Structure 1
């Protein structure tokens, strides 16, 4: 099964081609600023170099969040469009699970996170199974203040036997002194592991159940500013179907 995967969730733009679990090719643009302009050319480039057409792809996979609001919309919309037009499978993958997948060490608690500023993080914790299957989420993906996140880690760690914790993603190094207060062995992932790789998204999507393209949505994990403004203006409850958008 040929899988074309993509991530526009962060500043790193990543596109990959997988043949089942094998990463055939991956292209990355680090600190990219305009995913909407660069995504399609990168896809075309990777297909051309591997002598494939878009219609020969069996499955599309995409990071659905958390991450940049605009970036997520670009990636998810592109993957949904390809799947719908070509009648192919599409799979949405957690950005944090993809980060955790870059740490293959077993027996460690892997905390994956994206700096959300002001000591807040999009984060979740994962463990690798001995069977080599996808990282299992043990602390749900969420939008956490660092104090709340570390409390959740401490609680989970106290009930489970892990020799160490690995922090992967962005912004954790500046929390080193706070992390030390956990009184457990920990380390930070290597630089190349701290970015979202589309090849790992493809691997995670390989055996995953396909999503309905019409129902696949970004997973922001917190309200957008538009939702907050709409709620303040109307006083109405938040709704999952984006009804806060005004018709013009």
Structure 2
């Protein structure tokens, strides 16, 4: 099964092409341009480099949140628009589930953190399972202030692996509360990657063969919705 994955839940535009869970090509852009400006050009490049066409795809996977409200909507709209034209199903996965694949085979508890603005993170907890060969969610996604979350983690007396775009601003705080128990991945491993979404989407596809509509996963209302 050939498929495309899209993750625009952060400032990174991350696309990938895969077949049966194996990464074929990956597109990654972290620039000042918007997702609307970057998405289609990156898609064209990975298709051309792989000698694939859209008609080769069997389904499309998309990260449906949490993350940037605008980014989530752009990703889902693009995935569903392409799927409707191609008459193929769509698979939605959580952005934190995708990021957790950065902790492949690690013994530490995996802590993906995404910038939720308002001095908060979107986060969850995962543990790598050697038996199932995938990260298992052990605490569901929620929004929390970094300080409150780090205090809670520090009380667990465990080692933690941090990934995600919420790290840079709070790297010092992570070390302050966790010391050597807080392991911080560098950007080239910590930021959303198409390869991570490829794995999360493939696992979801094997459980659920896709659908025609994907619902966004926001955790909380956007500022516009709050004002309304």
Taking structure 1 as the reference length, the TM-score comes to: 0.81
Q: Which residue of 1 aligns with 2:209?
A: 210
Q: CA RMSD in A?
A: 2.1
Contact 1:5 1:61 survives alignment (8 Å):
yes
SS in 2 for 1:171: coil
Instruction: Report the alpha carbon displacement of residue 16 of structure 1 after superposing the two structures with TM.
Output: 0.7
Distance change in 2, residues 1:88/1:125 (3 Å): same
Deviations 1:7-66 (A, max 9, x none): 111111111111112111101111342211221222122112222221210121111111
Q: Which residue of 2 aligns with 1:239?
A: none
Instruction: Report the alpha carbon displacement of residue 179 of structure 1 after superposing the two structures with TM.
Output: 5.5
Q: Which runs of 5+ in 2 are unaligned?
A: none
- Aligned with 2:167 (options 153, 164, 172): 172
Pairing 1:68-87 to 2, within 5 Å after superposition = 68-87=68-87
Count of equivalent residues? 224
Q: Distance in 2 between matches of 1:37 and 1:184?
A: 40
Taking structure 2 as the reference length, the TM-score comes to: 0.88
Q: Which residue of 2 aligns with 1:7?
A: 7
Q: Which runs of 5+ in 1 are unaligned?
A: 231-248
Pairing 1:1-248 to 2, within 5 Å after superposition = 1-150=1-150, 152-153=152-153, 157=156, 162=158, 164-173=159-168, 174=170, 176-177=172-173, 180-181=176-177, 185-208=181-204, 209-214=208-213, 216-230=214-228
- Look at both structures and tell me which one has the larger radius of gyration over its CA atoms: 1
Q: Distance in 2 between matches of 1:35 and 1:207?
A: 26
Moved more, 20-29 or 79-88: 79-88
| Greater share of helix | 2
